[in-house]
Structure 1
Amino acid sequence: MSATPPLIEAITRSLHHLAARQRVIAGNVANNDTPHYQAQEIAAPDFSALLAEQLEGSRAVRVSHPAIAASARMLALGATPPRDTRITRDEEVSETKPDGNNVSLEDQLLKLGQVQADYAALTSIYRKQLALLNEAIGH
């Protein structure tokens, strides 16, 4: 079991996810005019594992995302290994342009707004949790 309180650990995981999601959205926006570019999305963290860890203590079974590696033949054909295995093709696109690009700036800006709202909520909860911890230890 971790020495970090479960709520702080969950907030930390969420903030890391939001940072990664913001990078993916920025990449989508940057490739808005790239022919045949497909919008990407990042998988949300699995908080059921965190809950199971807290409920079962150190006996919790950890399941991680599958590791994807490019084979030598794939590299010879020009494939590049993925940087983050949680990044997938975005299946919730509203349109595809004639050049095959399916990035919609409107969709990406809506997602970015959601990231901003989630970040504000998480940082507010984090501040309140730290204030409670400081109050508990008498600071």
Structure 2
Amino acid sequence: MFQKLDIFQMASGLAKHASTRQETIAKNIANADTPEYRAKDIASFEETYSDEATGTSMKSSRAGHLHGNDAQNTPIKFVDAPGPSSPNGNSVTLEAEMMKATEVRHQHDLAMSVYKSSMNILRTSIGR
């Protein structure tokens, strides 16, 4: 019953997005000296959690419903991170990647705070 609440799905989606983005940043840092390596990033959470991407607009609960969208698992969109490249063609800048890592940590902390607050509200509402 409670696993279908939108606030929990959104908090979980934000945490998963932050985790995937952190993995991408780690790969960028690991390839900082690789010639011709292009830094990657993923689309923002707002883009990946949009109505069209996740099906949060109209959902069908019966086969007779029109325009329902049940797509829940959409692939992550990887994009080339903008920025100049070094003489060997590598576009990774460690400073930019560290700034992104800090931003991702903040997003993950936000997701956990939303989840914790929502759980506290649920516990209070049922009297525990």
TM-score category (smaller protein)? 0.7 to 0.9
- The alpha-carbon distance between structure 1 residues 57 and 129, as it changes in their structure 2 partners (threshold 3 A), is farther
**Which residues of structure 2 form unaligned runs of 5+?**
none
- Kindly provide the CA deviation profile for residues 27-47 of structure 1, in whole angstroms up to 9, marking residues without a partner as x: 000000000000011123223
SS at match of 1:88: strand
SS at match of 2:41: strand
Q: Work out the CA distance in 1 between the residues paired with 2:41 and 2:57.
A: 26
**TM-score (structure 2 length as normaliser):** 0.79
Deviation at 1:51, TM superposition (A): 3.4
**TM-score (structure 1 length as normaliser):** 0.73
1:138 equivalent to 2:99? Answer no
**Which residues of structure 1 form unaligned runs of 5+?**
66-83
Q: Work out the CA distance in 2 between the residues paired with 1:9 and 1:50.
A: 12
Deviation at 1:57, TM superposition (A): 5.2
Query: Of 88, 94, 101, which residue of structure 2 is paired with 1:112?
Result: 101
Deviating beyond 3 angstroms after TM superposition, the runs of 4 or more aligned structure 1 residues are 56-59, 62-65
- Kindly provide the CA deviation profile for residues 46-98 of structure 1, in whole angstroms up to 9, marking residues without a partner as x: 23245314xx5535324565xxxxxxxxxxxxxxxxxx7522322x22x2100
Q: Work out the CA distance in 2 between the residues paired with 1:135 and 1:50.
A: 30
Q: Work out the CA distance in 1 between the residues paired with 2:70 and 2:11.
A: 19
Q: Work out the CA distance in 2 between the residues paired with 1:35 and 1:98.
A: 9
Q: How many residues align?
A: 117
- The alpha-carbon distance between structure 1 residues 85 and 8, as it changes in their structure 2 partners (threshold 3 A), is closer
Q: Work out the CA distance in 2 between the residues paired with 1:16 and 1:61.
A: 21
Quote the RMSD (CA, aligned, Å): 2.3
Give the structure 2 partner of residue 80 of structure 1. Answer: none
Please tell me whether the aligned partners of residues 29 and 103 of structure 1 are also in contact (alpha carbons under 8 angstroms).
Answer: yes
SS at match of 1:8: helix
